[in-house]
Amino acid sequence: MRESYLDVPSQYSLFRDIISNDSFQSLTLRQLLKCNDRPLLMKRFRRGKYWIMENVVVGRKSRHMGCADSITFTTHGDYSFVDSLETLVGRWLAPISLAIFAPGHDIIATLEAIQYVRNCVPKSDLVSDFVTFHIYFPYRHMPEYVPLNETEALEYPYSCAATDIIFGKPSNMNRPREEMYRLQQNLSYPINVGRNIARTAANTHFIFACDLQLFPSLGFVDQFLDMVDRNHSILLLDPKTQQPRVYPVPVFELRNNESLPNNKTELLEQVPDQKRWLRRNPNLTDELQVFSVSTRTGKFRSWEPFYVSDNAEPLFDEKVSWEGQSSKRVQVK
């Protein structure tokens, strides 16, 4: 049985005013940020050595999102990463912009994967509402078939029947990794190309450029927008007189046998020597606050933070590949 919206905790309900175009908070932020709404339209174009199919499939709610209504989680991957979407969208509950690298015959498994997560998993309704998919591939490794428009992509054949599912996934998604076209052709994974595609396609002012297998705390979007709404001083409102800024978010790695914490309180229960942390933070709440300001210099020069920002921030350096360099965020200062 699919999980319905009613299964989502009420404090993170999809019907909160925060995603309503006419909410007071949204209107206030829109005026402060001077942002403009933009449609999510399918585009096909070549940039450098890549063909890009932007907005191949658009999230139903994301399509109508205003620029100050939410934050877009921008991310990347290939079809083998798509099964992480269900967990991610169930926690984010806001727009997700996903760029999928699909050279050669990998596009077949990619289209099948999109249909699978939109139609065959318990949170398919949330995926269909919030996730917008983009596809890209090198012009020297063109697929034999690409959908001409969103309607054609959504009509790509799929089956949710148990007889067509192997180890919980459609058969094409379960191919051994060595059968992936990218690996057969020894293609590098262009991580920053995917990051930039997902970023530039977003229709909200704020974006969170992150990896697909990192999962945010519940309610993060609401908490961030509440934070900037009550403290306008942390916003970049005048680029001529203010320094550019981003909002890094700490990342915690869990052991295999540990469950995902939903908030700070549950996270601290999994942190070693938690009593020492609690003594330093006796009034722990789930409210977001800026607790320090720094720059990426000195011993932190190789730090690769994940952060919320606006789209005016410089794009990622596309010469960097997944395999080729440890620091993939060389534009951060």
The mean pLDDT of 217-245, rounded to a whole number, is: 88
Report the C-alpha gap between 292 and 302 in whole angstroms. 19
Mean pLDDT of 37-47: 95
**Confidence (pLDDT) at 275:** 67
Encode burial over 292-311: b for 16+ CB neighbours within 10 A, e otherwise: eeeebeeeeeeeeebbbbbb
What is the SS3 assignment for 101? strand
Q: What is the mean pLDDT of the chain?
A: 83
User: Angle 257-259-262 (CA atoms, 0-180°, nearest 5)?
Assistant: 160
Residue 283 has pLDDT above 70, yes or no: no
Domain ranges of the chain: 1-333
Which segments of 120-180 does DSSP mark as H helices, in order? 124-130, 150-154
Cα four-point dihedral sign 25, 29, 32, 34:
negative
Looking at residue 333, its pLDDT comes to: 47
Higher pLDDT pick, 193 / 177: 193
Instruction: Examine the pLDDT at 66 and tell me if it is beyond 80.
Output: yes
Residue 9: partners with Cβ closer than 8 Å, 6 or more residues away: 218
Overall average pLDDT of the 59-70 stretch: 96
Pair 115, 69: CB distance under 8 Å: no
> Regarding beta strands 71-77 and 206-209, do their DSSP bridges make them parallel or antiparallel, or are they unpaired?
parallel
Lowest mean pLDDT of 111-125, 191-205, 223-237, 300-314, name the range: 300-314
Q: For residue 103, give the nearest of 173, 197, 212, 190 by alpha carbon.
A: 190
Check whether 3 has a pLDDT greater than 50.
Answer: no
d(CA 99, CA 316): 14
Q: Is residue 141's pLDDT more than 80? A: yes
pTM recorded for the entire structure: 0.86
Residue 236 has pLDDT above 80, yes or no: yes
